[in-house]
Structure 1
Amino acid sequence: MDFQGIREEIKSRIDIVDVISDYVGLKKSGTRYKGLCPFHTEKTPSFVVSPEKQVFYCFGCGMGGDIITFVMKEEGMSYNEAIRKLSERAGIKLEINQNVQEREVLLQIHRAAAAFFKDQLRKSEKALKYLHTRGIGKESIERFSIGAAPEGWDTLFRHLKKEGFQDRHLRLCGVVVYKEHSQYDLHRDRIMFPIHNSSGDIVAFGGRAIEKNIEPKYLNSPETIIFQKKRILFGLNAAKEGVKGAKHVNIVEGYTDVVMCHQYGFTNTVAPLGTALTEDHTKLLMRFTKEVVVIFDGDDAGVRAAKRALPIILKGGLAARALLLPEKNDPDSYLKTYGAGEFKGLLSKTRSYVEFMLTNAGYGVDNLREIYDTLAAVEDTVLRAQLVTELSNKASISESVLTEKLKKVYKPMRTARIVKQRGKMLDEEILLGIYLSVPDIAEMFKPMMDMDLQGLMENELIKRIFKEFFSGTTAPTIEGLSKICTEEEVAYITGLMVNPNVDPNIGRESIEKNIEGCIKNLKKKWLKKKLDEIQEKINKASLANNIDELALLLQESKKYNNEKRGLF
């Protein structure tokens, strides 16, 4: 299904003000609406919604976008999930293809299996006794929909067949194993933990052996079209509200660690599914938080795990901190032994990445080199600057020396430079804001199309966007920009559209004068730079007494000076 194609249709049917009003108290302010930003704490409203442009922007935290972006951020939804939610609100019927139908059947199978396991738990004294022994209470059993798989080889299979599910779907879902002449349940005699995606759908199961001699101790469902381990975090659906309140997420290692943390009040806790943390996990977490705390055992294995996880979190643009528990303890055992108060005390002493590396991860040149490599890979320039300052202060290394070292190894993924909103905008910022805000204005930008944008603009992102617009490969809309820009870049561009310096209501003549003035300023700056370069060459040619080169340079200088005079 092409969700991108219906983005504009949604926006044409639903007013962004109506949607955001469900989450934020908005008051009209001129042609716009203002309110307190839902994405950061503030006392004075800096969150602006423009019904005319169908965008929002916060001048406090820099968050911005359109109606789809807002629902994604506020609800913690994926792009497709937000499209589905808003399509339903707009009364748009989405075409359901075979893959979508198949996905829905697999979700139904998992719902039926979860209900079956839950019913089996009620009947199993052994499973209930095991949970009681582990200290898992009734509320936790309900919160995480914990169940039990019976000992029989095909009890679940026969139940699902009775429910009317077909073999081809049972083959795909992973809860039943198909051999040449037989079928049997994947999970048998295990405590069952349903695994939810961030929208709350059950997409897989994790089974914990009840008997000590059963291997493997933990058994996850295989990957399917609805379940990829690298994109799912156990407990995230239950943790969303807790993460909002705590302003960070705790990452632990196992199912019971997550369950016990929630049981003791630390409801902002999640865990990867028997795999190391991935970049996909950090992208998922970006929808809910800006800070991650990894909690590992304090042994060598725990230190190694933290050293692997922290750089991945930082690279994804999230602040990262570490907590190493006393040796031979995990969150589950620590909470049961010492209680919530002691655990909260430990959480108040988490260490930043820099602190962790300097105090727990080793010493000497190799350790510093590892820190440099991690900092160099951090694409968020603000976060990287904070880490550099911290390393400078704590390792007694000059910040300028560190910056130079990082320049040598840092290779940015993009050349875009995000510039925070400020009182005075760059000429290219004003031009892009007008280009995106004012209909039928492209004709006024023809002089720019013939210019060398490389030398004309200092903002690399805007330069790249104008090249895309002028070549006709990208539409000048939020939808078009979302295909070629990061979320941060789209938010920044949205800010240009709602900035007071870009007001489409001032009249066509004033807008055209504004465009002419900005293009003229850009050309003046370019000519000054060119003339400065030529003057430097003239000085060198004079010193070398190179008459022929001097004559050519003076002729070139005259040409550019005439151009410059023509601009005044």
Structure 2
Amino acid sequence: MAERIPQQVIDEVRAQTNLVDLVSQYTELVKRGREWNGSCPFHEDRRPSFFVDDKKQVFHCFSCGRSGTAFSFLMEKEGYTYPQAILKLAEDEGITGLAKYQGQPSARQEKFQRIYELYNAAQKLYTHILLNTTAGEQALRYLLKERELDEETIKKYGLGFVPSNNVLLSYAREHDVDEPTMKAAELFLERDGELVRDRFNNRVVWPIKNERGQVVGFSGRSLDPDNPAKYMNSPESPFFNKGKLLYNLDLAKGPIRAGQPAMIFEGFMDVISAAMAGAEGAVATMGTALTEDHVRSLAKLTERIILVYDGDAAGQKAAKRSIPLIKTVAPKVEIGVIALADNRDPDEVRRELGLPALKQALEQSTQTPTEYLFNAAKLGKNLQNQAQYLDFLKEVWPILADASPVEQDYFLQKLAEEYGSSMEALRSEFEDYQRRHPVPTNGVFPSNANGPASSVNSSWDDQQFPDVAPDHGEHFNQSANMAPVDWQAAPRAKLSRVELAEEGLLMAMIKNRNMEELVERQPNFSFIHPQYQLLYLLYDAYRKEHGEGDFDLAAFMDYVQKPELNQKLMSMDRTFASMDVQMEAVKDYLRVIIEEAPYEEQVKSLQQKISLAKNQHDDAALITLMTELINLKKEHFQQ
């Protein structure tokens, strides 16, 4: 078992690593004001919103919210563990003598490693047979002539051929691969408990790799026209899970992070054809529907996903199922849909119409989900027939109900122009549908801009409670020609009065031990939001381990190692780090947390009950609740 990396080694690696140099390997950075600015390497970022503070050695993106240090940057970009990131940066900085921290693999890791080695050997063997032996000539002809691939593409994707002579079974036995490993790899078929032949005999095979590029399975296509099992995948196993794996993600993740959209296809050859046409963010599911795990994997890399499904009924069904799934799992992701003409799949477009035609289709044919579903609803219907037209409208209303107001207006006008219905009649029927099928509010109630919250907030000292501008989704750096800016000038996420007080108080406690002692003397004190309570407990533990020296933001973020908490730390540092700690400000923070927060919760609870009473037309309850709310506010402001 590996020794734990000592703290002094971690500190040395952190001190010697230049975060600007590291990040510059992934995105171009320009010095702006006190920080370095560039496009975020974690998502498509047309207007640079990524900042690196080379003094504090931390980064933050004001668009996607990612924050961290050199270690967390590598962990997220390359999938390293924390120790792996430390050792990788140590190696880059020429820090030696750390081999003893590499660690010994567990029994499970050793077992998987043997399986992975067998898979890697199988892929190389199958590709060699395809390209260099007479046994692979028919398969090579199929790929070169019928699929119109070249040898470079075949090598890039590791395609191969499995002959019928059980070549891998012989290879494994000749190289003394143990029987349990051979069985666990699922590369062979058994009879009566004995391995008897290669699973993919007489098939062209596509290696399936995980996100790290490790081969974990194969998909094979039979060259025998009489074989009823045309396609075959590796069976499900602990390391081959079709619901989690995306074909080609290992090669696509780089282009996706660099700004290309993630494009989801149905077939492996569609992915290869798309990449040949320049769409290098192409991935495919493996004979299964898109899953939540698939969506989460892509949403970590991008804010734009495009579905490219075949134009047939099955493709439409897949798109209709995938669109709401993406909206639910990754609501911030922008969705596009491409439906190719004449029911062709992307590989057929490339081979029949040429690579330029496919490139044009993938670049210029993207529809919004509403547009795609609206057009799909038309298919198979004679909309000149009144009954079918009315059925079409019934299918359209739920589509429009989920669309933006602009899209709703556009498609209602389109219906009126194309089918002669009056705009008034269409809007009336659509509004009737909306009344009968209200969109859930999920318990979110609009705030009262004229209520006590705004009036109290306006009286606070601006030095104690700096302005926090609402985030309208726009990047602050509108143009490369703008005057230099720094992240102190960037738009800030809207924080409540209570949360802002919690940030100020926690930063004061971190910067001044006397303030921490003052807070500890408050009976039964705790932060309202659990993130700040957890940060306080972590900082207390961190200080006991590291002593009472000057606060090191990067070191504490590495200690925390939780992205959502580090984002809070960056927000606190940005707002309060440059301010002097003042006793009056700290007392104000405590008053808000101890006195104002419970009052706000009571107001919020009553407002929710009032809304419910209104919806249920319960006048008696409404009068009682309104009286309670008025009395609560009166009592609060008399204090």
Which TM-score applies when normalising by structure 1? 0.75
Q: Which residue of 1 aligns with 2:393?
A: 364
Alignment of 1:514-525 (within 5 A): 514-522=585-593, 525=596
Whether 1:429 and 2:500 are equivalent positions in the alignment is yes
Alignment of 1:331-480 (within 5 A): 331-347=346-362, 348-361=364-377, 363-365=392-394, 367-369=396-398, 388-395=404-411, 408=440, 410=442, 420=471, 422=492, 426-427=496-497, 428-429=499-500, 431-432=502-503, 435=506, 438=510, 442-446=516-520, 450=524, 463-466=529-532, 468=534, 478=557
Alpha-carbon offset, residue 493 of structure 1: 1.6
Q: Letter of the aligned partner of 2:500 in structure 1? A: E
Of the candidates 262, 271, 274, which is equivalent to residue 249 of structure 1? 262
User: Matched residues in 2 for 1:199 and 1:169: separation?
Assistant: 21
Q: Letter of the aligned partner of 1:354 in structure 2? A: T
Question: Residue deviations 1:236-255, cap 9 Å, x none?
Answer: 22223433455202211111
More moved, 143-152 vs 360-369 = 360-369
Whether 1:102 and 2:111 are equivalent positions in the alignment is yes
Alignment of 1:5-404 (within 5 A): 12-15=11-14, 18-24=18-24, 33-39=35-41, 41=45, 47-49=51-53, 52=56, 55-73=58-76, 75=77, 77-78=78-79, 80=81, 84-90=84-90, 91=98, 92-121=101-130, 122-123=132-133, 124-132=136-144, 133-152=146-165, 154-183=166-195, 184-244=197-257, 247-317=260-330, 318-347=333-362, 348-361=364-377, 363-365=392-394, 367-369=396-398, 388-395=404-411
Aligned-residue Cα RMSD (Å) equals 4.3
User: Matched residues in 2 for 1:201 and 1:436: separation?
Assistant: 44
C-alpha contact (below 8 Å) 1:431/1:515 kept by paired residues: no
Q: Letter of the aligned partner of 2:503 in structure 1? A: L
Q: Which residue of 2 aligns with 1:380?
A: none
C-alpha contact (below 8 Å) 1:419/1:492 kept by paired residues: no
C-alpha contact (below 8 Å) 1:433/1:496 kept by paired residues: no
C-alpha contact (below 8 Å) 1:429/1:496 kept by paired residues: no
Question: Residue deviations 1:403-460, cap 9 Å, x none?
Answer: 9966526479xxxxx9745298644235336626826564444477746976xxxxxx
C-alpha contact (below 8 Å) 2:260/2:280 kept by paired residues: no
Alpha-carbon offset, residue 271 of structure 1: 0.7
Greater RCO, CA 8 A, separation 6+: 2
Residues 86 and 286 of structure 1: CA distance in aligned 2, closer, same or farther (over 3 Å): farther
> What is the SS of the residue equivalent to 2:361?
helix
User: Matched residues in 2 for 1:213 and 1:261: separation?
Assistant: 30
Q: Which residue of 2 aligns with 1:497?
A: 572
Residues 202 and 468 of structure 1: CA distance in aligned 2, closer, same or farther (over 3 Å): same
What is the percent sequence identity of the aligned residues?
A: 21
Residues 21 and 419 of structure 1: CA distance in aligned 2, closer, same or farther (over 3 Å): farther
Residues 529 and 296 of structure 1: CA distance in aligned 2, closer, same or farther (over 3 Å): closer
C-alpha contact (below 8 Å) 2:470/2:494 kept by paired residues: no
Residues 561 and 405 of structure 1: CA distance in aligned 2, closer, same or farther (over 3 Å): same
> What is the SS of the residue equivalent to 1:215?
coil
Which TM-score applies when normalising by structure 2? 0.68
Alpha-carbon offset, residue 491 of structure 1: 6.3
Residues 359 and 149 of structure 1: CA distance in aligned 2, closer, same or farther (over 3 Å): same
User: Matched residues in 2 for 1:512 and 1:109: separation?
Assistant: 66
> What is the SS of the residue equivalent to 1:247?
coil
In structure 2, list runs of 5 or more residues that go unmatched: 91-97, 379-391, 413-426, 445-468, 472-490, 543-555, 608-619, 621-627
Count of aligned residue pairs for this structure pair: 505
Question: Residue deviations 1:176-197, cap 9 Å, x none?
Answer: 2233253121110111111111
Alpha-carbon offset, residue 130 of structure 1: 1.1
Alpha-carbon offset, residue 229 of structure 1: 1.4
Q: Letter of the aligned partner of 2:531 in structure 1? A: I
Q: Letter of the aligned partner of 1:335 in structure 2? A: R
